[in-house]
Each structure stands twice: as C-alpha cells, then as structure tokens.
Amino acid sequence: MRFSTNFKPYVLLLVVGIFLLLGYIKLNCDIFIFVSKRPLFCFSRRTDVVTVTPWLASIIWEGTFDPVLVDNIYKPMNLTIATTVFAVGKYVSFLRDFLETAEMHFMVGFNVRYYVFTDRPQDVPSVNLTQGRHLSVIQVPGSNRWQEISARRMEIIQTTIESQIRREADYIFCLDVDSKFHARWGAESLGRLVAVIHPGYYDQTRANFPYERRPASMAYIPMDEGDYYYGGAMIGGFVEDVYTLTTVCRNRFAVDAGNSIEAAWQEESHLNRYLLYNKPSKVLSPEYLWQDFKAKTKEVKVIRFSGVVKNYAEVRPNV
C-alpha cells in the first residue's frame, strides 16, 4: 500500500516515535534522520567527514546510520522504489552487471521496479529477480551523439513518471547503467529530494567545481555560489519531487537549445543549478557514486555503487 506524498512523512513520524518510546535511540551522537526537513534522531558519530549540510540535511556516510534500525523503520511501510536506467546503444552491455549486483545490494527486502530505457529491447538480458521486484523495458530512440542521449533523459523520466511511475512507486532513483553495486544501498538513502556528492569533487572547494559558468545558460552558477558538486549519475527522492526537478530541468534544456547553448555537462549542469536553489533534503556521500579507477580513500570506508572502467570510444557513438 502506498501513501500520498503529504501523508507519508506523518506515518514515518509515528513509526519513529514508537522507536523512540521503546528506547532504541541513543542521543549522544551527531547524525540526524529527517522527516519533512525536521531532525528527529541521530546515529553514530564520525568526526573525519562533514555529516550535516549548512541547511541541516544529513550527509550519509558509513558509520552514520544503523542499518538494522533504518530497515525496521522503513520496511513496515511496504514502499516501492522505482529505479530508472538508460541502456542506449552499446551501453546495453552494462545492463546485466547493473541488474545482477542491484539484486544483491540495492534496496534488499523492498519492492523495486526497474525501468530500462533502451533502443535495443531485444538485447535486454534475462535476470532472475527476487519476489517483489519487477522489470519494465521501455523503447526509446537511439542517437548519434551521447550528449543528446544525456539531454533527453530528464524529458523521458518526466514523461514516464506522468504516464506510469507515479502510480507504481513511492520513491525513485535515476541511476547510470554503466555502474555496479558493491555493498548495501538501502533505506538510509530515502528522502524527499536526494543528491549525491560527485567523487571527483568531494574534497574540493567551489572554485574548482565544473559548474556552468556562462551567464547565457539556464544552468549558470556564479563563481561565489554553490554548496557541493553533485553527480548527475544519481537523482532520487519522492516520485513527485523528482518529477518537479525533471520538469524544471527539461524546460531549461529547451531554453538553452533555443539559444544554441549546450551546458558544460548537459543534465549534470542543470541538476546542479536546480539543487543550488532547491536544497536536497538528504545528501549521499561519494560511497554511493564512486569510480572504479579511483582507489578507496581513508574517508570512503565502503564503496556502495561505482562507475565501471570503460573505453568511451567503444561505447559512445561520437567519441
């Protein structure tokens, strides 16, 4: 059973209240779980990384949450998680590893609906899915430019939410297919609007962020603004919140296209612009978006999801 967007936070508040009364929470820590942007309780302490944003959203790292407690709160709600991936052109070759590792690590114990967008439906592999997990294949056009595929994703996700996803899921995560899961990605990641810090810039200052700096673009961010540089390989949150995000970004893409402008990093640039003025309610650490060619650092104790090493000239049509 799914709850309405407005009702869901109050249900979660009630469940959390029960756990508080039962004494499961220790209040001697500094990581907060949020419902409707209000801190309710906290978990274990980490002092080597920043764990709360300036607007008091939690940043999720290993050691900042109790997975058993989190699951006990969310699993009784019988939530369904939508997961979108684009397997266009030769990128369909990454789909099997994505799905098989997702079945091992992604939202285990929850209802999951995978939505695979591809121009090669005949090449979608058959993968054994556990109970409560389903896969839908949606055919989309191919392209001779990978930038166009990237630019169209916001529009396709928006229209699919309208036509299908909003009736079938509570939360949604939009992920890159050329990636694999390596460890738990669970309910600790759920929130109204969820972003992930890009692994290349989590230890950088805003002066080094590759934001779109041209004022003529709708993705423009001034040099003196910016919180984090968010990775475009993950967008998440309540279905309706992600719908709003994709609608706004799609419209800004259209304005730029009408002015013959392509943002520096296509959808990622527009995503960062949107999140600057519409703060995420939860931020995921680079554990949730690592890169296989990077060695694990002292801050990143667990790699949960990582982009695989690949030859772009082999998989991208115009490289």
Using the 8-state DSSP alphabet, how is residue 52 labeled?
B
Q: How far is CA 308 from the centre of its chain?
A: 17
End-to-end CA distance of the chain: 46
269 CA to centre of own chain:
15
Active site residue 267: no
Beta strands in the chain (DSSP E): 31-35, 38-43, 58-60, 80-86, 111-118, 133-139, 171-175, 179-181, 193-196, 234-238, 282-284, 290-291, 305-307
Residue 177 annotated as part of some ligand binding site = yes
Calculate the alpha carbon distances from 47 to 42, 101, 299 in Å. 14, 31, 10
86 labelled ligand-binding: yes
For residue 88, say whether it is annotated as part of any ligand binding site.
yes
Query: Is 178 assigned a ligand-binding role in the annotation?
Result: yes
Q: What are phi and psi of 137, to 5 degrees?
A: -105, 125
Please count the residues of the chain. Answer: 319
With CA atoms as reference, report the closest residue to 268 among 234, 292, 242, 239: 234
Q: Within the chain, what is the greatest distance between any pair of CA atoms?
A: 59
Query: Residue 268 annotated as binding?
Result: yes
Q: How many CB atoms lie within 10 A of CB 132?
A: 13
Of these residues, 100, 268, 299, 314, which one is catalytic?
A: 268
Q: 128 in helix, strand or coil?
A: coil
Binding residues: 86-88, 91, 176-178, 198, 268
As annotated, the active-site residues are: 268
Binding residues for Mn(2+): 176, 178
Binding residues for UDP-N-acetyl-alpha-D-galactosamine: 86-88, 91, 176-178
